[in-house]
Amino acid sequence: MPETQSLSTQINEGRMARSKQLALVAVLIAIGAVLRMFTPPIAGITPNFVIAMYCLAILLIRPNPGGAIGIGLVGGAVAMMFSKSPIPYLNLVSEPAGALACALIVLYLPAPARGGYSFKPALATIIGTLVSGSLYITLNFKFALNLPPEKLFLAMETAFVAVVLPVTAINTVLVQILYAPAKRFLRL
C-alpha cells in the first residue's frame, strides 16, 4: 500500500508541475500579446514580443521539441490576432519553427558563459527570432506579393534588415534581462 501512495503522489506532483508550466507559458504569451498590442511602432516597426515571451518560456521550462512546437502554435495563434500581414495565418508556420529552433538551442547547445553569466538566453532568442522572422517574411513575400524571384530576394533582404534584425535585437535584450530574475522568482 505505501508504494501505491508514493506512485499516486508522484503522479500528482507531475500533474502539478505540468499545470504550472502551462500556466507560465500562457501568462508569458499573454504578456507578449499585451506588449505587442500597446507598444507603439519604433521607427515604423512594431516589435513582436510574443516571440520574446515564448523564447523566455522555453528557456524556463525546457520543453521537448514537440512541446516547443506546441508553444509556438499557441504563440502563432496569438500573433495572428495582431498581425498586419495580408496572410496572418503564416504565423502558424513561422512561430512553431522559431520555437523549435529556440528549444533545440536550449536543449542541445552548451551554455556560452562568461564569468558565470550565461548568454544562452540571448543565443536561443536570436536563433528563435531569426528563424521565425526569416520564414515569416519569406512566406509573406512569396505568397502575398507573388513577386518574381529577382524582386523577391531584394524585398526579403530589405525586410530582413529593416524589420527582422531590429526585432531580434529588441527580443534578445529583453529576454537576456528577464531570464535570471524570472528563473529566481519561479525557483526553476
More confident residue, 77 or 118: 77
Spatial distance between the Cα atoms of 182 and 149, rounded to a whole number of angstroms: 44
176 CB burial (10 A radius; 0-12, 13-18, 19+): buried
**Element containing residue 113 per DSSP (H, E):** strand 113-114
Alpha helices in the chain (DSSP H): 2-38, 49-61, 65-82, 91-108, 120-139, 149-159, 165-186
Q: What is the CA radius of gyration of the chain?
A: 18
Q: Which residue has the cell 510574443?
A: 50
Do 60 and 184 touch, CB atoms closer than 8 A?
no
Give the model's pLDDT for residue 28. Answer: 96
Q: Which residue has the cell 525586410?
A: 159
114 three-class SS: strand
Give the model's pLDDT for residue 25. Answer: 95
Q: Which residue has the cell 519569406?
A: 138
Record: fold of 21-186: Arp2/3 complex 21 kDa subunit ARPC3 (1.10.1760)
Whole-prediction pTM: 0.88
Q: What is the mean pLDDT of the chain?
A: 89
What is the distance, to the nearest Å, from the Cα of residue 115 to the centroid of all Cα atoms in its chain? 27
pLDDT in tens, 40-53: 888 888 889 999 99
88-89-92-93 Cα dihedral, nearest 10 degrees: -90
Q: Among residues 61, 139, 137, which one has the least CA distance to residue 102?
A: 61
Give the model's pLDDT for residue 74. Answer: 97
Please report which confidence band the pLDDT of residue 186 belongs to, taking 50, 70 and 90 as the band edges: confident
Please report which confidence band the pLDDT of residue 135 belongs to, taking 50, 70 and 90 as the band edges: very high
